[in-house]
Each structure stands twice: as C-alpha cells, then as structure tokens.
Amino acid sequence: MNKILVLVFLMSTICSYSQGVFGTWKTIDDRNGKPKAIIDIYKKNGLMYGKIIEIVEKGKENFKCTKCEGDLKDKSVVGMTIITEGKKGTDEKWRGERLFDPQQAMTFRFKIWLNPENMNELKVRGYLAFIYRTQTWVRVKDK
C-alpha cells in the first residue's frame, strides 16, 4: 500500500512539472506584491496565448479597459487575450511581440519562462524599448 501511495505522489509531481508554462496562473503585481488576475496560458497551433479568466484584485472585479482604443474600448478585461503568438526558443523561453496590459492599455514585447528553482513560478518580462519589468506569477492548482 505504501508503495502505491509513493508511486501516486511521484506521478502527480512529474505531471505538475511536465505542465511547463501552460496552465492557470495568478498574476502578482511586482510593485505591491498583491494578486491581480488569473490567466489561462495555452498553446494553439504551436504558439503561446494567454487569456484573463478572472480578476482577483479587490474592487476591480468588473474592470473595463477604459484606456483602450478601438474594439477593446470599454470592454471587460475578463476574457481578453493578453498574450499573443509567443514562440518557444531553444533556451525553453517563450518570446513574442504582444503582451498587453489592459490597465495601462499598452503592448510590450515579452519573454516568459519557468523559474528553474520553482516550477510553480512563472517569470513574465515585458519590454518597452530597452526598459523592462519582470513579474513572478504563481501556478493555480485548483482552478
């Protein structure tokens, strides 16, 4: 019986590591350390995409993109695709040209990778010219 429990534990650990960057992540504001949103990162046609599935920041649950222009103007950010067409590099990092921040209504180039010291942390770096910011997102296990 103990061998079976150990085997089940090992298999679940291996499966959680094999998930890689894809799955559900809680964004953490790098300025104040507070959770902001839940993002579903998924693969479509070999490319990375990410969509906001929930706002968890208190008082912003129904946040609309008031600073956005065009089709996104005044739309709910829940359901909004914020990561588009990321490509995996040989270094296991994903890069792309569109990481959208609906709060600022700004688009950044991006690089995304798993923290090698903690597979339940995702490093998300947005670039604007030569300036960048990096956030650490946390894997959501029960979503």
pLDDT digits (tens, 9 = 90+) for 51-76: 999 999 999 999 999 999 999 999 99
Confidence of residue 142 (pLDDT cuts 50, 70, 90): low
Query: What is the reported pTM?
Result: 0.83
The pLDDT tens digits for 65-118 are: 999 999 999 999 999 999 999 999 999 999 999 999 999 999 999 999 999 999
Torsional sign, CA 102, 104, 109, 110: negative
Q: Where are the alpha helices (DSSP H) in the chain?
A: 2-18
Q: Which of 117, 136, 121, 129 is nearest to 19 (CA)?
A: 121
User: Domains in the chain, start-ordered, CATH in brackets?
Assistant: 2-139 (2.40.128.520)
